[in-house]
Amino acid sequence: MGGCQVLGQAWGGWRRGLGIRATPTAAGFGTKARHQLQRRGASKPSDPPGDQPFPGLLRPETFSREELVDVLRAAVVDLKGPLVTLNKPQGLPVTGKPGELTLLSVLPELSRSLGLGEQELQVVRASGKEASGLVLLSSCPRTASRLQKFFTHSQRARRPTATYCAVTDGIPVTSEGKIQAALKLEHIDGVNLVVPVQSPSRKDIMEGVKRTLSHFRVVATGSGCALVQLQPLTGLHPAREQHFPPVHTKAQVSLKIVTQSCQLQVFPSQLQAHMALQLCPVLGDHTYSARVGAVLGQRFLLPVEGTRPQRQVLDEALLGRLCLTPSQAARLPLHLHLHCLHLPGARPKDPPIELLAPLPSYFSRTLQCLGLHYQ
């Protein structure tokens, strides 16, 4: 297979191999995509829910290099031309420290396993470590460069190119909207955590505070939980001053940007942090869910300074619906999945193309247990 074919030559194969449809409205939450999720999410598990609390869940940290390559090869959704797409398992880091077993560290072996010879694969787009879902790879630098330019242009035009699916503990107050917040990374107790910043000063900006934005839409609700589609956005004009509204009326938190030099970025764990600010942490979020407290059924944000990551605590009713014991709930995987990526068409005037990754089995089981069906 040629290493650097023209990008347009691969699109026909992508459409056939993935059942991909071209759509002129790539930025929206289309009903077709929702129906696609419904069909996958509504399937029944092969065993009773109590017998397999997390069916299909892998533990990448326990794999050898050879085992990880085998898992990734089995996770390939399609291989056409210079492009490779795979459905990454939850818990696998894309990058890491030297010597750590990551997706990036085994790309040479994966390339050879896929019959690409010595062609080097590079990561174009990928879900984070704790999330599952799409990873887009390319063996052609020119193709990768073209895709990166497309993503950059889409960011500047405020057109989202990635859609995540999440199950949240709690239901957002509004069925759709935007979450905007100033965030920074802090090293706390040996862990890098995303921390919201109110009215950041110039010093905060110099120390890495960034403004972030995500679109969300509630797709289905049930049992006090929600199936939510999330689209992290970048590309607010860097020269515009942004004043962010309160994140949540009950939280009484107003995260403002008062400088022109703070550019919008997608943070690691941005979506988890954003949903915690909405008082609806992602199911299986054992880091940021601790920031949400409750008294007599009323939720509120706890001060970040006095809150440390801990295992997510679910009420007895929710544990019962999920058929989980408290010890099993402590091992609940993060229910955040990069379900869809939008790529450019073969020619400039062609509509964008959607790449889809099936939901993990444990994710589908959770939807069934919670009765999350589409309206």
C-alpha–C-alpha distance, residues 46 and 15, integer Å: 30
Looking at 306, 329, 352, the residue that finishes a domain is 329
Backbone angles phi, psi at 248, to 5 degrees: -155, 135
- DSSP string over 83-108: EEEEEEPTT--SS-STT---TGGGHH
Amino acid at 291: R
Q: Which of 192, 304, 162 is nearest to 247 (CA)?
A: 304
Which residues lie closer than 8 Å to 115 by C-beta, 6 or more apart? 1
pLDDT value of residue 25: 37
Tally of domains within the chain: 2
Residue-by-residue pLDDT tens, the chain, 375 positions: 444 443 443 333 333 333 333 333 333 444 444 444 443 333 343 444 445 789 999 999 999 999 999 999 999 998 888 999 999 999 999 998 888 999 999 999 999 999 998 889 999 999 899 999 999 999 999 999 999 999 888 888 888 999 999 999 999 999 999 999 888 888 887 788 888 888 777 776 667 788 889 999 999 999 999 999 999 985 333 323 233 333 343 333 333 322 223 333 456 799 999 999 999 999 999 999 999 999 988 999 998 887 889 999 999 999 999 999 999 999 999 999 999 999 988 777 888 789 999 999 999 999 999 999 755
In a domain, 295, yes or no: yes
Answer yes or no: do 143 and 223 share one domain: no
In a domain, 112, yes or no: yes
Where residue 214 sits, what CATH number does that domain have? 3.30.2350
Which residues lie closer than 8 Å to 219 by C-beta, 6 or more apart? 29, 34, 37, 165, 226, 227, 228, 229, 372, 374
Q: Which of 75, 32, 35, 84 is nearest to 56 (CA)?
A: 75
Answer yes or no: do 183 and 312 share one domain: yes
In a domain, 361, yes or no: no
In a domain, 64, yes or no: yes
Q: Which residue has tokens 């988890």? A: 272
Answer yes or no: do 204 and 300 share one domain: yes
Answer yes or no: do 142 and 77 share one domain: yes
Taking all residues of the chain, what is their mean pLDDT, rounded to a whole number? Answer: 79
Answer yes or no: do 40 and 128 share one domain: yes
Answer yes or no: do 181 and 145 share one domain: no
In a domain, 267, yes or no: yes
C-alpha–C-alpha distance, residues 118 and 217, integer Å: 43
In a domain, 304, yes or no: yes
Could you give the 3-state DSSP secondary structure of residue 295?
Answer: strand
Answer yes or no: do 169 and 317 share one domain: yes
What are the pLDDT digits (tens) for 210-229? 888 999 999 999 999 999 99
Looking at 111, 144, 159, the residue that finishes a domain is 159
In a domain, 365, yes or no: no
Answer yes or no: do 152 and 187 share one domain: no
Answer yes or no: do 300 and 192 share one domain: yes
Answer yes or no: do 60 and 144 share one domain: yes
Looking at 329, 346, 365, the residue that finishes a domain is 329
C-alpha–C-alpha distance, residues 340 and 231, integer Å: 10
Answer yes or no: do 147 and 46 share one domain: yes
What are the pLDDT digits (tens) for 225-247? 999 999 998 533 332 323 333 33
E strands along the chain, which residues? 76-80, 83-88, 122-126, 132-138, 162-169, 176-188, 191-196, 210-222, 225-233, 246-248, 253-254, 292-295, 298-301, 336-343, 353-356
In a domain, 369, yes or no: no
Print the domain residue range for 296.
Answer: 165-329
Answer yes or no: do 144 and 179 share one domain: no
